[in-house]
Structure 1
Amino acid sequence: MTASERRFLLGLDVGSTSVKVVAVDPKTSELRWRDYQRHESRPAERLLDMLSAFDRTFGVEPGEARAFITGVGGAALAPLVGARYVQEVAAIALAVEKRHPDARTVIELGGQDAKIVFFEAEDDGRTRKLVSMNDKCAGGTGAVIDKISNKLKVPLDSLGTLAYRGLKIYPIAGKCGVFAETDINGLQKRGVAPEELMASLYDAIVLQNLAVLSRGNTLRPSVLLLGGPHAFILGLREAWQAHIPRLWEERGVPLPEGATPDSLIVTPRDAEFYCALGCVEFARQEEGCDYLGADRLAASLAAGHGSATSRRGAPAIAVSGQDLAEFRREYERPAWTPPPLPAGQTAPGFVGLDAGSTSTKAVYLDEGGRVLAKAYQLSRGNPIEDAIEMFRSLRQQVEAHGARPEVLGVVTTGYAKDILRDVFSADAALVETVAHAESALHLYRDPHVIVDVGGQDIKIIVMRNGRVKDFRLNTQCSAGNGYFLQAIAQNFGYPVETFAETAFEAREMPVFGYGCVLFLQSEIANVQRQGWRPEEIL
């Protein structure tokens, strides 16, 4: 049966956060049916609901449609519905060439990826496609918008109407979703309105994608904005329309006579369905791919194929064969006990102050390098006030012994080291690498490697013969840093100090992928639905 002899051509797009289905009449090319739904980490089940509705609406029998499928979940589900898998970029390109042959740039934002496709005409009349894609990090994708809008309690029906133009824009880190959330937290505490925060987020997303995805290429007109975020969110579209013309002006890109920049940066109708529509174009050209129907998918899911509800994990530490008590004796840090101080006398010492991105730490050392007092607290958003609290805590600890502190010197480090040095007239402000190295050399005879997991960064310092030989720093991504670990523990109702103790109680654990924190949060939500307990997830 040829494509034109079938009743429908089906295009299916199973993405990271949503499922899209379109049905086209092969004879008239009329779009007869379309549906878009969030799948809440259950893509197969959501696709079943949508295909069941399609089958009921039109009375479709197996073999009466030809189906192609794309998206991150498409390859696994293709054989279950009788579809052929198509790579996303190929589907988008085919849909654009069919519907907008004059387009020269496509910007597509998905739930967990972002891509720019450049269409360049060649001498032989063909079009060369250059693709730049980010699918490893949530920075610049719809996942960040979801995360921040939920945090600000912006309803979905209001999110789409929030504007960008005419609002004050604040600087927000666009390189990482968690860093963006941290900036949003600070601005929210200052009383910045949610609509300005969302506009600032759109600005950061656009700038991030222009910086990372353009890679020296110029976004030439006309530009199409595709994907769910562009289809549904006015402010995001306006942010692109504000920034791209500036780029054109800087690079001297000629515009068609009489055309306005806004008319050259457009979001077409059905922008959220373009991957699925591209699948339909493949269905016109390719043979095979007989649609099997929703009932076949339901039977496959009932047999446990393709479902997101099946629980699979790995043994945890509790069943690894290693004695837990022995493990703790070997690796657990002993409790610190403050040394006795002579009552009624002064206790001279030096203050070390570390003002980090999420916490502030301070120590009071005597002239021999012994720790007399120490303090730690999560940052409250003002490093000066945090530092005052640290000084107060150190003084109270010394005075609790009946002694009087006598500060001989102060050295600062961390993100706020310079401002604290100036405010408190400290003796020096050390970069963190030097501070780590000095501390390690003081406490250990021959340190080789220092690993520092901070609130918003991770450092590895390699030392040889008392000198720093190599240094690696991750400040671009929050994966694996302290802020994330703290947030996950708090979400489950545990203080971060009990993270390891709680995790050691698990006998089995889910296996997560490496990479972006926001993607990992989606995985965590999924395994919770499968019945995994907090200690197993931690």
Structure 2
Amino acid sequence: SEGLESLRRAFGVPSFTPARFSPGERVEAYLGIDGGSTSTKAVLMAPDGTILAKSYRLSAGNPLDDTREILRELDEQVKSQGASLAIRGVGTTGYAKDMLKETLLADVAIVETVAHTQSALHYHPEADVIVDVGGQDIKVIFLKHGAVKDFRLNTQCSAGNGYFLQATAEKFGYAVADFADAAFRAERLPVFSYGCAVFLESDIVNFQQLGWEKEEILAGMARVLPKNIWLYVVQEPNLAKLGRTFVLQGGTQHNLAAVKAQADFIRTKVPGARILVHPHTGESGAIGAALEARRVVPHGRTAFVGIEAAALLSFTTTRDESTRCNFCKNDCLRTFVDTKPPEGDARRFIIATCEKGMVESLDDLRKVKGRFDRIKKENPNLVEIAGDAAFRSTAVRKKEEAGDPAASARPSRGTARWLSLPSARARREKIRIGIPRVLNFYSTAPFFVGYLESAGVPFRNIVFSTETDNKMYKEGSRRGSIDQCFPSKAVISHVHQLIQSSGKKGKGLDLIFFPALINLQSPLTNTIAGQACPTVSATPSVVKAAFTKEGDLFAEKGIRFADPIMHMGEPALLDREMWEFWRPVLRLSRKEHAAAMEAGWRAMDRFANEIQRAPARALLDRLEAEGRVGVVLLGRPYHNDPGLNHEILVEIQKRGYPVFTMDSLPTDADLLGRLFGGEVEAGAIEGPMDITDVWKNAYSANSSWKIWAAKFTARHPNLAAVDLSNFKCGHDAPIYDVVESILEATATPYFAFHDIDENRPAGSIKIRIETIDYFLRRYEEGLRRGKSLEAELEERVRAYRAE
């Protein structure tokens, strides 16, 4: 009993007393609505941030009905005292945020991660971690410099959420409000296995059969909750690296047994941790939405339809064959929500899985496409551009530079086809070479294409696999090792596609060329080595085994599979390796080979400088002039494949941000001098391409390049970073903290998508993109304010000098 009372004093949520109003008073407030999965919450917030009234309602199945009822309750809390309510702004959040915004004409809709973050920071500005346990969802949000750095969601899994605890308590005859009292009566407790709710249910049955009392079982369930949060959902046992201040919120935190279990668990991992419970734990999301409405609505000029109009709003929902979308082959069902206010025109909100489904007519679809095309033109995605350009012909086009992309190609300067014998020329013109569009080919393919074209192989005979997609991956992923990372596993699907397509639409492939690249070129200085990832280097051998272990599929198709060892980082050795491999295949002379090598290196130079760095410099200059922000992809070359990056960069581009590759970051002397000159002068580094100040073990080419790109991004105020990494990436894991520390040192916006694999969690990605968009918008606002103040200061200085 004494322990429970001390817990109430330490962690109990203070009872809320609604504000008192005078008869005839006009109450101005901001309205925040959280349309959650199991409940709807709303608050009225005074302009100074004080909560005037709040309302909570378990979902009855329709978020619009739930919201109308909650609005009626809030309005009644004011009117019952003889006062009147004037809404100055409305914000929505939760899974129903967009529908509520459109139907009620709310002023702003924000993703729940942002809403919960803003709410927690409003009461606890020092928060490092937010643990939000709701009825259905578990969200753990990691903060840095007052912004979301990363977060974890429980997706569809119900292990440990509030509804599961509530349902179990009610099964034992306890109201959820009495859960803690019952659990604290237990003098011992059973040990549950953390994880899936199905297994927890099984444990409950087993413990009952073993004679455990229901109060003891409830105590055991509370004790396993933090394990489900941290070990099952978050999958992070090292809590200390996340920070010291943990804010607990969400409706489940009303349960003191759950709070105590979490506090005990956190303190065993983080001695001296500060554990705080949000004062309005059940309404934290709604408070965040109200805070955002207060921030964005100028002088109370809200677009909100009004509480009375909302109460009279009629609506219908339709989801049947008449709502099916036919704008692509998926033929998805949609939900139409039609609303009709007492005055004004009817409106329709469409719930769909993509942007195409949000419209009904082809004209509207063309408008959507036109809008996206304008955004893409204004905000180039150099990841997409580089990913496409790497696998194109390297031949010089006579009229291309004059703006005629349809001009016919001629052989690259330096070609030596005229030296070859007619029989050799005929062989080269007929040979068909397949190359998988994978791994380090995303940075090295121009070299090999340039070499082959110069040697006389027509580009039409160089056959690349397509970009990775789900269909390709499934068709070819039944072979090979299970211990590789996703990009390496996907290679087997690419080779499978090349094999299966051989012989279709003309002559089949003669050769699949997939060299084992041991090292790579690097412009960095002071590095130990420039090794390629050993898993990537070994992948050609894995592929060969996959297609020859149970019968030689290459031989059956009449294809030679070639996986020669090559060293891109050692030009002299590469010259010999290319000569030894291609001489017998293409019947090359020494002069032809030398000319082809020159053409290959020239193609690499053009790919790096003309296709990537030159447009990137122009784009970066424009961002500086406009006070805007661009996003740098910190990844590996193969993350230019949209199937491997899960189109995350495309989604970021759609939000209005240009995207840079690491290879596109300009290396012009003036820019490098501006960014790194001070450190060079101070002797911290030998030159702008030196990373030894932050990373001594620079032996991995792609890892070292990623660290340098992080340094560049951190030093440029108009850039933010998105870090992509794959599950089981042994070369990325050691540099996670290095990259993060570099960017955090300058408070550069930094967002990470680590552990990417073949599963694409669309819901989680959508929430992450919305979160990134919000904080980049805020960051851009700061850039523009700074630019405006700088211009104002310069004007004052000029005026002063003129006097």
Q: Which has the higher contact order (CA 8 A, sep 6+)?
A: 1
Superposition TM-score, scaled by structure 2 size: 0.34
Q: Which structure would you say has the larger Rg?
A: 2
Superposition TM-score, scaled by structure 1 size: 0.50
